[in-house]
Structure 1
């Protein structure tokens, strides 16, 4: 009943007005499968926000768009949260096809993109960013809200032009409120970051977010993804088997405390996985720079190279699903440009050649993927065109047959009309002939009467019978002749 009431409330508070009447819509900031985010400016205040246009599913049978219940859930959760490390919802509008969320503008870009631009990264810096992520997740978990989609692209910076940028968690499209005593199962999220219980379709809770934080920390410190395989199936198999290690090539400069923090998050059994409170109390988070061995503390903090993190972000941004082509090309170009600026003058010729070769291979891979997709679309279009041509030819054939039938019918009517004209001519000639004969007979009868002097006798009767019978004969003869002609 509480959930039903909440859904009803959400429906009432969506403004059934054009968002363009209140905001100037600007450039595109990003897009997903069924949503696009654009920069906007509020007309009344001049303040800038981000407008997230979510395409509504038009029917239950359709798979295109987001169903009403999921949109309402995201809005409901965003209206409940208010924390420095979580994006803020400003307003909600709705039209026939979209629900538009007016959100806080987070313009500093992704955390990993920001760190990839650095030449090196200390563990202290990494810890400060992980701590902000934990603070935001802690706020959510105290409200029994699980994000369920924690990954680098959903960890943004409010403003990257300050020494320690402020982190914002975004995209609550998969977030759920976890209710005590209510079992919740689902399969969603990005395979690289999902917890084993999601893969195995087991009851889900707040623990799934902690696994994702472990994966994010592993990538942040090494530039390598712990479970990523060559295929989606291989990645999911690595997750369920918790198959990962701390390769010396990637973790030679990483402290044992950092590795311990990751180990205690990447635990298959949810009861043994660190909770958000335990993660915040972990020595690697609370030590504030005391993460190195005693003999290292007198020296400068160990700097983690970010070369592999750059390669990781480049690979991620080069993944281009058909519905996200423009955005990913733009981000890919930006990453390449940033890499060129950071590495200019700092790399040897061989290193530059290797980087260029990797970029070429990546572009070739992208081209091949897009070419295959366009080929498939072209085949589908060609098939549809062939069907249309077939239907057109059928219609042309039917049209030709109909035209021939009309011409035949017209010719038949023309023949009937000519026969009628001929009969009319014959009738007119016969009528004139009979009229002449009748007149002659009348004259004969009159002369006969005059000669005999009998006006009331046999002559008069004969004259009367002839006068009555001749028109009848004329009429009957004409009718029978016409009928006989029509039968011919």
Structure 2
């Protein structure tokens, strides 16, 4: 099917463009986000003051209409992140998650998604036009507000959240005041009816809670986040119930339960459960209402009311006003007016577009005169807010740096001490090594000397052995010649002579050895055995 989207204002140049729906439903349409059929842009014009549209950090909402039917819609332009290194724009996975969730929900208290388009820089969500403005702006303009009326609005919020929770979807960003950079997420479909219908919007942080899968994150608006978000604990559907408790507290009192001077103070108050029901703000509030808030603002998620328990709470089930019947009517009216006055003050303090009550008419009369000044003030306010956030981040980084610097200094001193000890041990081992090397060299010199002496004695022994062999040979020749003479009968008996001669010869050899180098030879042999 074809849809023609026209701009609402002169900046569109009065032109229009053709853009086909991405087609399909559910997961198919998410996958088809990448295919922007029309080569021309989807054009729409921002008109925040007349349709309740607004802009966030990376998204702008503009009014648009369908040429064929004239039906008006809200076009949410989500800036895509162009690269992994960039910090500007929204990751594609986050955009697809938001689209996937919006496609699965259809409830009278939740904004409806009609179409999805894409161009080179943005993904465009065509949403139901919610033109009644923000809930707190509407309540702050009322002259009176009863607890019963507040109950009706809280009940509508609960019904929308109940629809989400039955599908295991957590919104994670329920809030009720309008900062210039953080629009309120609880809107009115049409404020010109006796009981305006609540519409929950902005599912950029919403997640489907998968059973058995642990999910942790730090996100949301500090004033409304649950303790488990502050403490980086596993998150679930109960985080939305805490936010509803904070919203109810503010709605009935005009005061924020955990708001501190800084973001860190606010988060610290949430973690410490630092809140109370001051009589100045809750002096005429029913005990049932305070009980409802107490059971929602439970740090233990198991003790916190579930969405079904909240809907069944007596304060929600009954629409009767809980004030004592003895209170005079004029006191009741005075109390109601005071309550809306506090809501005005809270809304103004929270940078809402709602001016103070006693100057509201004057602002209405001179709106045209101060339009440019208001725009400049908004710009300066955004810059101041951004500067404050940046300063907080710088202070946090400086604190982390100081802690890291102290840790590095301690580690450096410890490592320096260990290195000094290792250096001392190394020098000690090096000295021992040099001593051992000197001992080895001395032993090598001694061994060389002994080897040289042994070689000399060995040569001497070999020479003596040759000399002794020659002597023995001569003796044997003499003995042989004597035996020849004896056998021829010319002398002594041979056996007697041979025995005596051999004995004398042995004695002579021993004496010869003793007179020669026999001692040196034995010494050399001993040295050889020791080696």
Q: How does the TM-score come out when normalised to structure 1?
A: 0.64
1:336 to 355, 359, 373: 355
Contact kept? 2:30, 2:96, Cα under 8 Å: yes
C-alpha displacement of 1:12? 1.6
Contact kept? 1:145, 1:177, Cα under 8 Å: yes
1:94 aligns with 2:113: no
2:87 to 57, 63, 77: 63
Residue of structure 2 in register with 1:205 after alignment: 236
CA deviation vs aligned residue, 1:78-119 (integer Å, no higher than 9, x gap): 000000000000100001110000000001100000000012
Residue of structure 2 in register with 1:40 after alignment: 64
Contact kept? 1:24, 1:42, Cα under 8 Å: no
1:11 aligns with 2:31: yes
Residue of structure 2 in register with 1:159 after alignment: 190
1:225 aligns with 2:256: yes
Residue of structure 2 in register with 1:242 after alignment: 273
C-alpha displacement of 1:11? 2.2
C-alpha displacement of 1:365? 13
| Distance of 2:362 and 2:201 partners within structure 1 | 30
- Distance change >3 Å, CA 276–CA 372, structure 1 → 2: closer
- Secondary structure of 2:220's aligned partner: coil
Residue of structure 2 in register with 1:382 after alignment: none
2:174 to 150, 166, 172: 150
| Distance of 1:49 and 1:339 partners within structure 2 | 35
1:257 aligns with 2:288: yes
Contact kept? 1:52, 1:100, Cα under 8 Å: yes
C-alpha displacement of 1:14? 5.6
- Distance change >3 Å, CA 92–CA 336, structure 1 → 2: same
Superposition pairs of residues 127-138 of structure 1, within 5 angstroms: 127-138=151-162
- Secondary structure of 2:210's aligned partner: coil
| Distance of 2:187 and 2:385 partners within structure 1 | 32
Structure 2: gaps spanning 5 or more residues: 1-24, 177-183, 364-376, 391-531
Residue of structure 1 in register with 2:47 after alignment: 27
2:97 to 73, 76, 85: 73
CA deviation vs aligned residue, 1:167-221 (integer Å, no higher than 9, x gap): 0000000000001101000000000000000000000000000000000000001
Superposition pairs of residues 80-479 of structure 1, within 5 angstroms: 80-152=104-176, 153-293=184-324, 295=326, 303-304=335-336, 305-317=339-351, 331=353, 335-336=354-355, 340-341=359-360, 370=384
- Secondary structure of 2:199's aligned partner: strand
C-alpha displacement of 1:45? 1.4
| Distance of 2:39 and 2:91 partners within structure 1 | 20
CA deviation vs aligned residue, 1:419-470 (integer Å, no higher than 9, x gap): xxxxxxxxxxxxxxxxxxxxxxxxxxxxxxxxxxxxxxxxxxxxxxxxxxxx
Contact kept? 2:344, 2:357, Cα under 8 Å: no
- Secondary structure of 1:91's aligned partner: strand
- Distance change >3 Å, CA 266–CA 26, structure 1 → 2: closer
C-alpha displacement of 1:59? 1.3
Contact kept? 2:26, 2:104, Cα under 8 Å: no
Contact kept? 1:227, 1:238, Cα under 8 Å: yes
Larger Rg: 2
C-alpha displacement of 1:164? 0.5
C-alpha displacement of 1:308? 1.2
- Secondary structure of 2:355's aligned partner: helix
C-alpha displacement of 1:42? 1.1
C-alpha displacement of 1:21? 6.4
| Distance of 1:19 and 1:116 partners within structure 2 | 45
Q: How many residue pairs are counted as aligned between the two chains?
A: 339
Contact kept? 1:119, 1:342, Cα under 8 Å: no
